[in-house]
Amino acid sequence: MIASLPLSFAEPVLLLGLLSLPALWWLLRVMPPRPRRIEFPPTRLLFDIAPKEETPSRTPWWLTALRLLAAALVILAAAGPIANFILAIVIFTGLFTFYGKPSTSARVDKVEANSAAATAGFQVGDIVTSIDGSKIESFTDMQRIVGVRAGEKLTFTVKRGDTTLQLQGTPQLREVKDPFGNVHRLGVLGITRQTAAGDVVTERVDPATALWLGVKETWFVIDRTFAYIGGVFTGREAADQVGGPLRIAQISGQVATIGLAALVHLAAVLSISIGLLNLFPVPLLDGGHLLFYAVEAVRGRPLSDRAQEMGFRIGLGLVLMLMVFATYNDILHLAAS
């Protein structure tokens, strides 16, 4: 990726990333303290860990009020991300209710030679009904499970004519291009589903079922995001998949060519991503506030002004460096495409 970028174009971006390090040092040295600070009452009062001689027989009204205030502040800090998740669930529910859930049967129409599917014993015409006990209702369901479990041995329940078989296969990690030319690293079995007219069935569901499907879809995006982040730290995934505003604009334009439903689906995915980002335990984000509240609850007193000030400076530096890194990836991706 870097080699495909002209040197005169790549150097300023790399220089910007390096400049972020002295910028972080400057933030730690000269950034003024935060203008305001919310303090909780001592944890000893909130959780009734006072000595017995100080504990009244009945909880006073002011202590109850302080506990409610503490709970309200925690809820307030998490309100933004929760709203993002709720919005995504509402969007998914609306799509499944009014547009429907498109699906195709998990039928094998082609098996690649020397692939994981060929080794496992798949044949043309097989229909996958479950993977490791999870019911498979469409080819997309199978792709989702296989795509995130490269290198893991999976047990497939396959219907072959009137016979039900158990096959074991290990998806291989490959770089796969989508119809727009974007490269993704996914687990692949090596089977193909050829879609003909009438194969795709779009089924509308009742609101209650749509709500449950919306919750499942939201959880799938959250689980896949955490799996990717974990893969980056373990070296299994590449960090070049991290994108910023430029990548979002590019993908939005590509998805818009598919149709309105796909674009609305992307909006729900972006809402989930924003909610997860805000929950990261980084000072300056909502997750950082929750982290400070948790530390205060354990210590029984707030962190010092100096500690909170340093935390917010470090958090700001981390956010800025993440923005630079994401923009750098976006530019490399646009140049390569």
N-terminal to C-terminal alpha carbon distance within the chain: 10
How many Å apart are CA 145 and CA 148, to the nearest integer?
A: 6
DSSP category for residue 33: P
Tokens matching residue 302: 């707030």
**Coil, helix or strand for 80?**
helix
Q: What is the pTM of this model?
A: 0.68
Question: Tell me, what's the pLDDT at 158?
Answer: 92
Tokens matching residue 71: 């709970």
- For the chain, 337 residues long, give each residue's pLDDT as a single digit of tens: 333 333 333 333 333 333 344 444 444 444 444 444 444 444 444 444 444 455 445 666 555 665 555 555 556 556 778 889 999 999 999 999 998 887 788 888 888 888 888 898 998 989 999 998 888 888 888 888 888 888 889 999 999 888 999 999 899 888 777 776 677 778 889 888 887 666 677 888 888 999 999 999 999 999 888 888 888 888 777 787 788 888 888 888 888 888 888 899 999 999 998 888 888 888 878 888 778 878 877 877 778 888 888 888 888 888 889 888 888 888 887 887 6
How many Å apart are CA 324 and CA 322, to the nearest integer?
A: 5
Question: Tell me, what's the pLDDT at 69?
Answer: 59
Q: Which residues contact 41 (CB under 8 A, 6 or more apart)?
A: 66, 69, 70
Tokens matching residue 12: 């300023």
> For the chain, what is the radius of gyration of the CA atoms?
25
Helix (H) or strand (E) holding 45: helix 43-46
Full set of structural domains in the chain with CATH: 103-203 (2.30.42.10)
How many Å apart are CA 301 and CA 15, to the nearest integer?
A: 42
Question: Tell me, what's the pLDDT at 86?
Answer: 92
